[in-house]
Amino acid sequence: MKLFIQLTVLFIAFISHKHEAIAISNLTYTSFVFPVNKHTDAAKTLYSINLMTTFVNMQFSHANFLIDIEGPLTWHDCILLWSTDPETSCPKDKLCKSPISCEEVECTRFRANSFEKSSCPPMTNRSTSPGWGFCTCPVNLKNPINGNCVQPELNGDSFAANASDGRNPFLVYHDINIYAACAPSNSFTSFPTNVSGVMAFSNSPYALPAYYSRSSIKASVALCLPSTSSANGVLFFGSGPFYLLPHSDVDLRSLLSYTPLLKRPDSFSYFIGVNAIVIKHRSIDVVGTTTTKLSTTEPYTTLKTDIYNWVIRRYSVVTKRMLRADPIAPFSLCYRSNIDGTQADVNFPDIEFSLPDGKNWTIYTSNLIKQVTNDVACLAFVDGGATSEHAIVIGTFQMEDNFLHFDIENLSLGFSSSLLNKDTSCANFNFTTGSMDMYP
């Protein structure tokens, strides 16, 4: 009888209209969960989540969206279609979305809130959606890979995600209803293979967290980037708890140190205060408290030139006994990691970011030294230039196998430093689907 009830619930879920979420009030879930992919086939290393985009013929279609914690709006490869029956009118192999008119208030609001005004072409109400007769709403955005301007068209959008209790995904899907934008397929030529969208997790009023600020799912993003493309990392959207194997009884939040998340009036990005960079008991002060940005589209941490030069000089001193190698761009300090066919036994010193309230984010070797070739490893920091807007931009190599909790509701960032030191990694979430016994 119990099995029959479980199968009945699943059947009802799949015959619901499109990918409408199951409205069962006693299901205990605290987050949505997404597998994270690492891509190395574009101009720089990037990371995506896998989303369910539509429900057709009794099954979900899936697509990969870049993780962007700076972008103002989600956008992807789709077309606008005004129709009373979009499922039958939509061309094959295309996603069709409902257009937002240029006359609607949301079009005006987004354009007013966008920071992409001076560097992109003017926005014009130049087109109409076939069969609709109203002007569409093109908006200015930037491609996070190459920085080029794009003008996708605003729409009402819906995706689906697996619910989770932090240990497993459930066989229950939750709708994510947001404003997004449709761009033509040629807008994604610079993207990794099989990635056809950008999911915005920034503090923009049109990014995903803003839609859940007053719901039972909390505006919180927990990000764990994998260090390999052969295994999935994990992204949670929600309050937690969060677990990784083999420590299935340890809530990762208990391992985190927290520091305030800072905002800037001219940016949707997330910032933290870094007071100093410390290498072997010596430090350089970082002027200002809102100059350290976190980015999921920059592959390596970049430092303003004066800070970068100090780091390189200091790190050269504390590693003077290690065999050097010729620099390999974009790095300037490299080491021999293979000597006469033997892997060198090298103990690289850590680097610490000294944060407010006495907290330290320690960058260990796994996030500090990049193996560039079989024989050469380099300090994975990059010179951001003398006129860089930000003193520090923390890139994804320094985030891999670190657990980061963006607690947007409480404006704080939780960080673990390397999970490898805690006998786990970002590839250790249990994506085995939880059973219907999750129902109380």
3-class DSSP string for 246-277: CECCCCHHHHCEEEECECCCCCCCEEECCCEE
Higher pLDDT, 101 or 172: 101
Q: Whole-angstrom Cα distance, residue 222 to residue 150? A: 28
Half-sphere exposure of 203 (CA within 13 A, CB side): 21
Asked if residue 434 is part of any domain, the answer here is no
pLDDT at residue 128, as a whole number: 65
Q: In the predicted model, what is the mean pLDDT of residues 15-24?
A: 38
pLDDT at residue 27, as a whole number: 55
Q: In the predicted model, what is the mean pLDDT of residues 326-330?
A: 97
Asked if residue 428 is part of any domain, the answer here is no
Q: Do 19 and 165 belong to one domain?
A: yes
Domain boundary among 191, 218, 241: 241
Q: State yes or no: pLDDT of 288 exceeds 90.
A: no
Q: Give percent above pLDDT 90 in the chain.
A: 68
End-to-end CA distance of the chain: 16
CATH code for the domain in which residue 287 is found: 2.40.70.10
pLDDT tens-digit series, residues 132-184:
668 899 999 999 999 999 999 999 999 999 999 999 999 888 888 999 999 99
Asked if residue 364 is part of any domain, the answer here is yes
pLDDT at residue 149, as a whole number: 93
Domain span holding position 327: 252-423
Higher pLDDT, 433 or 86: 433
Asked if residue 159 is part of any domain, the answer here is yes
Residue 339, beta-bridge partner list: 342
Average pLDDT score, the chain: 87
Token pair, residue 327, equals 């620099």
Residue 197, beta-bridge partner list: 76
How many beta carbons lie within 10 A of that of residue 377, not counting itself? 25
Q: Do 174 and 233 belong to one domain?
A: yes
Phi and psi of 32, rounded to 5°?
-100, 155
Q: Do 142 and 87 belong to one domain?
A: yes
Q: Do 130 and 205 belong to one domain?
A: yes
Q: Do 199 and 276 belong to one domain?
A: no
What band does 211 get if pLDDT is binned at 50, 70 and 90?
confident
Q: Do 259 and 128 belong to one domain?
A: no
pLDDT at residue 71, as a whole number: 94
Task: Please say whether the beta carbons of 311 and 284 come within 8 A.
Answer: yes
Task: Please say whether the beta carbons of 125 and 137 come within 8 A.
Answer: yes
Domain boundary among 241, 270, 288: 241
pLDDT tens-digit series, residues 250-278:
999 999 999 999 989 889 999 999 999 99
Q: Whole-angstrom Cα distance, residue 278 to residue 421? A: 20
Task: Please say whether the beta carbons of 226 and 232 come within 8 A.
Answer: yes
Asked if residue 430 is part of any domain, the answer here is no
Q: Work out the burial of residue 61: count CB atoms within 10 Å of its CB; fewer than 13 is exposed, 13-18 middle, 19 or more buried.
A: middle
pTM (global) more than 0.75: yes
DSSP structural state of residue 83: -
Q: Do 357 and 234 belong to one domain?
A: no
Q: Do 191 and 267 belong to one domain?
A: no
In 286-407, the DSSP E strands lie at 292-294, 301-303, 324-325, 334-336, 338-339, 342-343, 351-354, 360-363, 369-371, 376-379, 381-383, 392-394, 402-407
Domain boundary among 188, 206, 241: 241
Asked if residue 436 is part of any domain, the answer here is no
Q: Do 71 and 180 belong to one domain?
A: yes
Q: Whole-angstrom Cα distance, residue 292 to residue 285? A: 13
Asked if residue 439 is part of any domain, the answer here is no
Q: Whole-angstrom Cα distance, residue 173 to residue 192? A: 27
Q: In the predicted model, what is the mean pLDDT of residues 308-333?
A: 97
Q: Do 222 and 347 belong to one domain?
A: no
Q: Do 223 and 149 belong to one domain?
A: yes
- In this structure, the strands spanning 59-68 and 46-56 are antiparallel
Q: Whole-angstrom Cα distance, residue 213 to residue 288? A: 29
Sheet containing strand 376-379, strands side by side: 324-325, 334-336, 376-379, 369-371
pLDDT at residue 298, as a whole number: 98
Q: Do 227 and 154 belong to one domain?
A: yes
Q: State yes or no: pLDDT of 82 exceeds 80.
A: no
Residue 363, beta-bridge partner list: 351
Q: In the predicted model, what is the mean pLDDT of residues 230-242?
A: 96
Q: Whole-angstrom Cα distance, residue 125 to residue 30? A: 41
Q: State yes or no: pLDDT of 296 exceeds 70.
A: yes
Asked if residue 105 is part of any domain, the answer here is yes
Task: Please say whether the beta carbons of 290 and 264 come within 8 A.
Answer: yes
Q: Structurally, how many domains does the chain consist of?
A: 2
Of the candidates 87, 411, 10, 419, the residue with the CA atom closest to the CA atom of residue 218: 411
Half-sphere exposure of 377 (CA within 13 A, CB side): 19
Give the contacts of 381 (CB within 8 A, at least 6 positions apart).
Answer: 300, 301, 302, 303, 308, 311, 312, 331
Determine which of 162-176, 209-223, 239-253, 315-329 has the lowest per-residue pLDDT on average.
Answer: 209-223
